[in-house]
């Protein structure tokens, strides 16, 4: 049994952050210890707004101390971080990573660098983007940016797939072992496709699948992608197999969400297909 400490946001209603990551990882056979950076009523892209709070300074440190005191921190195989409520929380996460790796040198740090997209309503606190670029990047074993985050992390304007690959190689040269670009967007081969990129020691791989014509695109897809990739890797899949299985699982959730005409990801309805994905789309080596 593999164990993941998942430190990211939580929403009471819907699927974002831990609310999009914990259930899928558990369905894939991973024991998950959720730790929340914020607790909101719903994700921040609802037009009507949201209610809730950022967890106070010291909250993460205290919870990690509690895990260490009962002797279970050393049993953790990976730490997954996502949406941060403050840059100070990021520093507490890096302290947790250092503490975990001192106890378990084989433990992984998977960083989902949520840097915000104000035009879409995804808002992060001041200093978080700089923290991710200047501090977290140096500690991450695995990274899962979207295109905008990849541009911010590397200081590049990325217009096509070769430039995206160069940016990923730049991150690998800085010590990141594996980079998954969650959505290539305008830098992809085709604007009417959902395209992802995986760059790791085994090579560079590209995946493409149809886009669903949602009236309002569901939130939390990136959180689901990162969690599912990590779960598959911890389950023993090769990076390529984990990439393909992740694509199939997430596509099954999106298909169910589209069929239901829903705004929130239909994780429960799609749980069987998500946990036992039918891989019909294979990645191409670039």
CB atoms within 10 A of CB 4: 26
Confirm whether residue 75 is marked as ligand binding.
no
**pLDDT in tens for each of the 286 residues of the chain?**
999 999 999 999 999 999 999 999 999 999 999 999 999 999 988 989 999 999 999 999 999 999 999 999 999 999 999 999 999 999 999 999 999 999 999 999 999 999 876 555 566 777 898 999 999 999 999 999 999 999 999 999 999 999 999 999 999 999 999 999 999 999 999 988 999 999 999 999 999 998 999 999 999 999 999 999 999 999 999 999 999 999 999 999 999 999 999 999 999 999 999 999 999 999 999 9
Helix axes 161-173, 147-154, angle to 10 degrees: 50
Buried b vs exposed e over 133-151: b needs ≥16 C-beta within 10 Å?
Answer: beebbebbbbbbbbbbbbb
| pTM, 2 dp | 0.95
Confirm whether residue 190 is marked as ligand binding.
no
Domain that holds residue 46: 3-285
Tokens 């886009």 locate to 211
Confirm whether residue 9 is marked as ligand binding.
yes
Confirm whether residue 39 is marked as ligand binding.
no
CATH (domain of 122):
3.40.1190.20
Confirm whether residue 149 is marked as ligand binding.
yes
Domain count of the chain? 1
Confirm whether residue 45 is marked as ligand binding.
yes
The answer for residues whose C-beta is within 8 angstroms of residue 229's C-beta and 6 or more apart is 144, 180, 242, 243, 246
Q: Is 102 left (phi over 0), alpha (psi -120 to 50) or beta?
A: alpha
């Amino acid at each position: 049994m593999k164990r993941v400490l998942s430190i990211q946001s939580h929403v009471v209603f819907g699927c974002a952050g831990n609310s999009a990551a914990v259930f899928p990882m558990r369905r894939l056979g991973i024991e998950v210890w959720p730790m929340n950076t914020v607790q909101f009523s719903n994700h921040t892209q609802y037009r009507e707004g949201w209610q809730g709070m950022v967890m106070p300074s010291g909250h993460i440190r205290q919870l990690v101390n509690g895990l260490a005191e009962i002797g279970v921190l050393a049993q953790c195989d990976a730490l997954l971080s996502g949406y941060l409520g403050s840059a100070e929380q990021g520093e507490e996460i890096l302290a947790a990573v250092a503490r975990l790796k001192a106890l378990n040198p084989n433990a992984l740090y998977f960083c989902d660098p949520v840097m915000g997209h104000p035009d879409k309503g995804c808002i992060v606190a001041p200093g978080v983007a700089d923290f991710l670029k200047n501090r977290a990047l140096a500690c991450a074993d695995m990274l899962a940016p979207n295109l905008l985050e990849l541009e911010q992390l590397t200081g590049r304007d990325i217009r096509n797939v070769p430039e995206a690959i160069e940016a990923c190689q730049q991150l690998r040269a800085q010590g990141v072992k594996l980079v998954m670009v969650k959505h290539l967007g305008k830098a992809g081969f085709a604007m009417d496709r959902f395209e992802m990129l995986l760059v790791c020691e085994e090579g560079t791989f590209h995946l493409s699948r149809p886009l669903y014509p949602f009236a309002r695109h569901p939130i939390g897809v990136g959180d689901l992608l990162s969690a599912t990739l990590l779960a598959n890797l911890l389950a023993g899949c090769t990076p390529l197999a984990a990439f393909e299985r992740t694509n199939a699982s997430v596509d099954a959730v999106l298909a169910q969400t589209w069929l239901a005409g829903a705004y929130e990801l239909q994780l429960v309805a799609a749980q069987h297909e998500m946990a036992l994905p039918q891989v019909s789309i294979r990645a191409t080596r670039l």
